[in-house]
Structure 1
Amino acid sequence: MAVNFNDPTCGFFQREVVDFINKQILQNGVSPHFYSMQMCESWGDMEKKLRDILTDSTVSEATKEACAWKTLALAVHMAERQKQEDAEKVKKLQDQLDEQNLFSNVLIGMVNRLRNAQEKEKEKAQFQLQESLTTLRGVEEERNLFRNELLRVLSTQSSKQQGALEGRKRKQAQTLRAPAEAAAAIPARKYSRNSWKV
């Protein structure tokens, strides 16, 4: 049989058509193996062979017609096989595309989760920074209060020490002046040599 109706890649869906083509091929002396031998050839090669047969004056018209039918059957078979291969390629590409879409969705999900985590970390860091700045301002204010108090205490102590120092100087000056004034206030006595005698 030249065309196998049970072959899903034969390209024919009507049994009557397949029977007619097979009858034409077999009646006119074309080998039943012609179909299977031509399976791997390209359409260009098949067309050249058909041209060679059609232009050969030694080949009968019935054989030329059978070869034409056979070439038609092979062309349909090749087209059907190409269609199935293309469908498989399209399915493979669609599967790859679906896989890529799934992968992209997973990546997008991961990126979104990372972005959300970064946003939360950023918000947390900003909050902590604000708290730290507030604490720092409080510490600076407390430091300024302590510094002012320290300066006031040091100023008071300095004033007291200055006052105490001046008081001591006055006392010392008074202490030094008192004997001199006392000595100046006592009338001078004349001492004779006899005054030493008891």
Structure 2
Amino acid sequence: MALDLGDVRSGFRHIEVVMFINEEVLNNGGGPDFYLTFRSRPWNEIEDELRSIIADPHVPQATKRACTWSALALNVRVVARQLEQQAYGVSRLQEQMEERETAAWALASQLQRLRKERDLLVSQLRGVREDLRQALNDCESMRRWQPAERWSQEVVTESRPQRLGVQFYNTSSIYCIVCSPPKVSFSSITICLMHFTLF
């Protein structure tokens, strides 16, 4: 018997066809040798071997017919193997496509999250920039206001002693005070005070 009836990789779907091929191989004096030898080979090797057998004048016609039936069965097996490989390839490609789609969705989700984080950081930076600008404006206002305040304080402190006959002379960090009391015999008393201003 050339073909195994239980071989699921033979490529045949009907057992009647397998039995008929086996009968033709046996009736022509053949056996399972040709089929078993080439069942895992590609079709071009099977065809080359069949051609060499058919072209050999020393091979009987019955043997040629038996090998031809075996080659026919092997051809069906080769086609079934190719279909199986193609189906596996298609399945593998589909799996890879699904994996890439999943990865693409994950990347899209991650990109969306990063964009939200970027927008949040941009908003926070804008708020910090506005706060910094306001702080700089406040500092500038205080810097302009501070000399005016010192001048007003000097005017207040200098105007009061003049009522008592005391005169201030501001020379940078030295204040000279000239007092002219009415009941003192000498004309005037000059008092110089060292005053260091802090800036």
Q: Same fold (TM over 0.5)?
A: yes
Indicate the RMSD between aligned Cα atoms, in angstroms.
3.0
Other-structure match for 2:48: 48
Counterpart CA distance in 2 for 1:126 and 1:170 is 64
Counterpart CA distance in 2 for 1:25 and 1:151 is 127
| 3-state SS of paired residue (2:46) | helix
| 3-state SS of paired residue (1:23) | helix
Give the % identical residues.
29
Q: Across the two proteins, how many residue pairs are aligned to each other?
A: 173
| 3-state SS of paired residue (1:164) | strand
**Structure index of larger Rg:** 1
Other-structure match for 2:82: 82
Other-structure match for 2:187: 175
> What are the ranges of 5 or more consecutive residues in structure 2 without an aligned counterpart?
170-176, 189-199
What one-letter code is carried by the residue in structure 2 that aligns with 1:73?
A
What one-letter code is carried by the residue in structure 2 that aligns with 1:23?
E
| Structure with the largest fraction of helix | 1
Q: How does 1:142-157 map to 2 (within 5 A)?
A: 142-154=142-154, 156=155
Counterpart CA distance in 1 for 2:39 and 2:148 is 105
**TM-score (normalizing by structure 2):** 0.71
Aligned mate of 1:164, from 163, 167, 176: 167
| Structure with the largest fraction of strand | 2
Does the 8 Å CA contact 1:26/1:32 hold for their aligned counterparts? no
**TM-score (normalizing by structure 1):** 0.71
What one-letter code is carried by the residue in structure 1 that aligns with 2:19?
D
What one-letter code is carried by the residue in structure 2 that aligns with 1:98?
E
The one-character-per-residue Cα deviations of 1:118-170 (angstroms, maximum 9, x if unpaired) are 2212211212221222233233223322333234445x379869x92579499
1:37 aligned onto 2:49: no
The one-character-per-residue Cα deviations of 1:63-110 (angstroms, maximum 9, x if unpaired) are 222212211211110111121122123222322332232233223322
Does the 8 Å CA contact 2:30/2:66 hold for their aligned counterparts? yes
Higher RCO structure (Cα 8 Å, ≥6 apart) = 1
Displaced runs of 4 or more, over 3 A: 151-154, 156-161, 165-171
Q: How does 1:48-197 map to 2 (within 5 A)?
A: 48-154=48-154, 156=155, 164-165=167-168, 168=178, 175=187
